[in-house]
Amino acid sequence: MLPRTLNVAAVQFNIRLGDVEANWLAAEQGLRSVAAQGAQLAVLPEMWSSGYDYRQLAELATQSPEILTRLQALSGELGLTIVGSLAESDGDKVCNTAWVIDQGEIVGKYRKLHLFSTMNEDRYLHAGDQYLVVTTSVGRLGIAICYDLRFPELFRRMALDGAEIICLPAEWPKPRQEHWRTLLRARAIENQLFVVAANCCGVQGKLDFFGMSLLLSARGEVLAEAGEVDSCIVAALDFAEMQEYRQQIPCFRDRRPEIYGKL
């Protein structure tokens, strides 16, 4: 039985390109802060330990297992479910992989499906081939990463598979702030589920990141929003309200998949 309310958080910080130790310290500080505020689920940004340091990506990926071990220990210590993406080695390839750590245990991982070719992600990273919805101590989580946000069919698939909360790590740069905000709210509204989205902030190389991490209700209401600097946001999700909204507007019951396909 899900709790009536759940405290969730997004941890937003300026990722130091290629500086794993500095990024770990920023993430740890943020996670300890939100846990002290009562958060039970926290999302970190995309590629939070390294950023998109393409020249060193393969070497940086070899450090991810140690980072995961540290994150597991912190999750267990704080009693916190944590989601965030790291560079992951897969033979001679590197994937952008989001890990779900629940009470100290790795319970799922998701490799980014849609690589942002505009920024050459497809040249340096290997795409995943499966979506992820996973049962955790805080509910059914669906996982997506950054550019995935522009593909609504992925989110509908996760919703149909029982996702109640979408966790979305991102590195979404200026000047596309309004796309970020609009698409996140649309994914929440059309699928009648919660969204916890963590962006990074600050400057990495030639890119300027605006932050604006968001916590959204199943109605698409903004429960908390970060600014453009390092910050942690926390809000309570009301599952009873989500169920009431789904009963008021029964979108899933009224679907016509025989007309437009299984999705």
Q: What are phi and psi of 259, to 5 degrees?
A: -90, -50
CA distance 24 to 41: 18
- Of 95, 146, 200, 201, which is the active-site residue? 146
For residues 45-59, one letter each, b for 16 or more C-beta atoms within 10 angstroms of the residue's C-beta and e for the rest, the string is bbbbbbbbbbeebee
Q: What angle do CA 198, 116, 188 make, to 5 degrees?
A: 40
Instruction: Say whether the peptide bond before residue 152 is cis (omega within 30 degrees of 0).
Output: no
- Of 46, 88, 121, 164, which is the active-site residue? 46
Residue type, 160: L
112 is catalytic: yes
Supply 176's token pair: 């596309």
CA distance 224 to 226: 7
- Of 109, 112, 167, 232, which is the active-site residue? 112
Supply 96's token pair: 């952008």
Helix, strand or coil, per DSSP, at residue 182 = helix
Supply 66's token pair: 């140690």
Q: Which residue has the tokens 């991102």?
A: 170
Strand ranges, E, within 13-161:
41-43, 81-90, 93-102, 105-111, 133-136, 139-143
By annotation, the residues acting in catalysis are: 46, 112, 146
